[in-house]
Structure 1
Amino acid sequence: MRTIDLSPLYRSFIGSDHLASMIDAASRQEKQQTYPPYNIELLDEDKYRITMAVAGFAKEDVVIEVQENTLKVLGTKESGSDTKNQKSKNESERKFLHKGISERNFERKFQLGDNVKVLTADLQNGLLHIDLERVVPEAQKAKRIEIGSKLYENE
């Protein structure tokens, strides 16, 4: 992926520095984050699904938070400690010939559009599914105006 120079946006568009900052942050973040892999699906006109491959993580290991327009998914695996049960102790002592399933901690952020709400989250077969929906308020929906009709009663 090429690096995009956004300095002309900062110089040319007064008041758009927030937009340029978001684009700049997104391009930097995308380069760094490759784990865990994810898909974003369009299920319906206003319904979406994010599917993340989180093999090795249980429901208790994953935290999903929404703050303002940011969806944050955190995955935390505890490393072996003395306070864990015997099964966890044995798992930390395993010797791998090849370890292709990465069970490292992660934090993945998604910028949500205006009026996008998280509906549900489910973890099945190593895949985390997060369903989203864009709910457009009635005041922002398009309205058809019939020709010859009065918009206001006072007219």
Structure 2
Amino acid sequence: MQTFDFSPFYRSTVGFDRLFSTLDGLNVQETKSAYPPYNIERTGDDTYRISVAVAGFSKDEISIQTKENNLVIKGGKSEQENTEREFLHRGIAERAFDLRFQLADYVEVSSAIVENGLLHLELKRELPESKKPRQIQIGSTDEPQTIEKKSAAN
């Protein structure tokens, strides 16, 4: 894997701090484990769904938090539960996880449900009225504009 150094761009840009910190974050995230697997899908013009494979976790063992356009999904098993059993073979991953997603502006989590071992988060983008596009009417004057001709006799 090749890593990129974005520091030369920092010196010549103003106002793009968030963009470059996101790029740096993507560079680091590639090295992290992809556990648990997840899907991100567009379900409509302004609606999205994140589905996370959380088989073996109850809804009480999962937490979902949003803060400043960051979505954090955490899951973990209690230590008591793991010490009561003796495994001859352990192939089902039940390790703790911490997934982080950068949400676009005005995207909010509208609901979250656990169904058939999948955690589904429904997201919706709701622009405030001041940010929505609006139609501008084009006005005209009542008087027709004419271009004066100079007569050839002058």
Q: How many residues align?
A: 140
More helix by share: 1
1:93 aligns with 2:86: yes
TM-score, length of structure 2 as denominator length: 0.82
1:32 maps onto 2:36 in alignment: no
Superposed CA offset, 1:30-80 (max 9, x none): 321310010000000000000001111111110111111111000011123
> Aligned residues: percent identity?
46
TM-score when scaled to structure 1? 0.82
Q: What are the within-5 Å matches in structure 2 for residues 1-155 of structure 1?
A: 2-80=2-80, 89=84, 92-96=85-89, 99-148=90-139
Counterpart Cα distance in 2 of 1:135 and 1:15: 24
Change (3 A) 1:147 1:15: closer
SS in 1 for 2:43: strand
- SS of the residue corresponding to residue 100 of structure 2 reads strand
Cα distance per residue 1:99-146 (max 9 Å; x no partner): 332110001111111111110000011100000000011111111112
Is the 8 Å Cα contact of residues 36 and 53 (structure 1) preserved in structure 2? yes
How far, CA to CA, are the matches of 2:18 and 2:134 in structure 1? 30
Cα distance in 2 for partners of 1:122, 1:43 equals 16
Change (3 A) 1:14 1:147: closer
Contact 1:53 1:127 in 2 (8 A): yes
CA RMSD of aligned residues (A): 1.9
Higher Cα radius of gyration: 2
CA contact (8 A) 1:33 1:108 kept: no
Conserved in 2, the CA contact under 8 Å of 1:9 and 1:17? no
Q: Which structure ranks higher in relative contact order (CA pairs < 8 Å, sequence separation ≥ 6)?
A: 1
Distance in 1 (CA, whole Å) between partners of 2:107 and 2:30 is 21
Distance 1:111 1:78 in 2: 28
For residues 61 and 29 of structure 1, what CA distance do their matches in structure 2 show?
24
